[in-house]
Amino acid sequence: MFFTSKILVHNNIAFLKPASIRTLKSSIMSYTYQGAIYSVKSPIKSISVNKRNVAVTDQNGTKLIKFSNINDSKDFLAWIYQA
Protein backbone atom coordinates (compact mmCIF):
# COMPACT_ATOMS: atom_id res chain seq x y z
CA MET A 1 0.00 0.00 0.00
CA PHE A 2 1.34 3.45 -0.89
CA PHE A 3 0.63 6.49 1.27
CA THR A 4 1.74 9.99 0.47
CA SER A 5 2.43 12.32 3.32
CA LYS A 6 2.63 16.03 3.81
CA ILE A 7 5.30 17.61 5.95
CA LEU A 8 4.23 20.58 8.01
CA VAL A 9 6.88 22.80 9.59
CA HIS A 10 6.22 24.91 12.69
CA ASN A 11 8.97 26.61 14.70
CA ASN A 12 11.59 24.51 12.90
CA ILE A 13 9.83 21.29 13.96
CA ALA A 14 8.56 19.05 11.18
CA PHE A 15 5.25 17.26 11.55
CA LEU A 16 4.18 14.47 9.24
CA LYS A 17 0.50 14.43 8.26
CA PRO A 18 -0.54 11.22 6.47
CA ALA A 19 -2.56 11.58 3.28
CA SER A 20 -5.28 9.38 4.70
CA ILE A 21 -6.36 12.07 7.20
CA ARG A 22 -5.96 15.12 4.95
CA THR A 23 -9.10 16.71 3.58
CA LEU A 24 -9.54 18.43 0.26
CA LYS A 25 -10.53 22.06 0.50
CA SER A 26 -13.26 23.18 -1.82
CA SER A 27 -13.53 26.54 -3.44
CA ILE A 28 -15.71 28.07 -6.11
CA MET A 29 -14.00 29.45 -9.20
CA SER A 30 -15.79 31.63 -11.74
CA TYR A 31 -14.91 31.91 -15.41
CA THR A 32 -16.49 34.52 -17.71
CA TYR A 33 -16.83 33.70 -21.40
CA GLN A 34 -18.75 35.91 -23.82
CA GLY A 35 -20.73 37.52 -21.02
CA ALA A 36 -21.75 34.24 -19.37
CA ILE A 37 -20.36 33.28 -15.96
CA TYR A 38 -19.50 29.63 -15.38
CA SER A 39 -18.89 28.53 -11.79
CA VAL A 40 -16.83 25.45 -11.02
CA LYS A 41 -16.50 24.06 -7.50
CA SER A 42 -13.26 22.32 -6.69
CA PRO A 43 -12.24 19.61 -6.43
CA ILE A 44 -13.12 18.82 -10.03
CA LYS A 45 -14.05 15.18 -10.56
CA SER A 46 -13.57 14.98 -14.33
CA ILE A 47 -13.03 17.00 -17.49
CA SER A 48 -14.09 15.85 -20.95
CA VAL A 49 -12.95 17.69 -24.07
CA ASN A 50 -14.23 17.42 -27.65
CA LYS A 51 -12.73 20.16 -29.83
CA ARG A 52 -14.69 23.27 -28.78
CA ASN A 53 -16.86 21.63 -26.11
CA VAL A 54 -15.69 21.12 -22.54
CA ALA A 55 -17.72 19.22 -19.93
CA VAL A 56 -16.63 19.77 -16.33
CA THR A 57 -17.96 17.57 -13.53
CA ASP A 58 -17.65 18.95 -10.02
CA GLN A 59 -19.54 18.49 -6.74
CA ASN A 60 -22.57 20.28 -8.21
CA GLY A 61 -22.84 18.13 -11.35
CA THR A 62 -21.76 18.42 -14.97
CA LYS A 63 -21.56 21.67 -16.90
CA LEU A 64 -21.14 21.79 -20.68
CA ILE A 65 -19.35 24.85 -21.99
CA LYS A 66 -19.38 25.46 -25.75
CA PHE A 67 -16.59 27.68 -27.06
CA SER A 68 -16.53 29.44 -30.43
CA ASN A 69 -13.00 28.27 -31.26
CA ILE A 70 -10.40 25.78 -30.08
CA ASN A 71 -8.06 28.44 -28.66
CA ASP A 72 -10.78 29.62 -26.26
CA SER A 73 -11.29 26.06 -25.00
CA LYS A 74 -7.53 25.67 -24.54
CA ASP A 75 -7.42 28.92 -22.55
CA PHE A 76 -10.22 27.62 -20.32
CA LEU A 77 -8.39 24.33 -19.75
CA ALA A 78 -5.19 26.18 -18.88
CA TRP A 79 -7.17 28.25 -16.36
CA ILE A 80 -8.65 25.09 -14.81
CA TYR A 81 -5.28 23.32 -14.61
CA GLN A 82 -3.50 26.23 -12.94
CA ALA A 83 -6.21 26.63 -10.27
Q: Is the bond preceding residue 18 a cis peptide, omega within 30 degrees?
A: no
pLDDT digits 0-9 by tens, 33-62: 888 888 888 888 999 999 899 999 988 899
Please give the pLDDT value at position 24. 53
0.85 exceeded by pTM = no
Q: How high does pLDDT run on average in the chain?
A: 78
Q: Within 13 Å, how many C-alpha atoms sit on residue 32's CB side?
A: 1
**Averaged pLDDT for residues 5-30:** 60
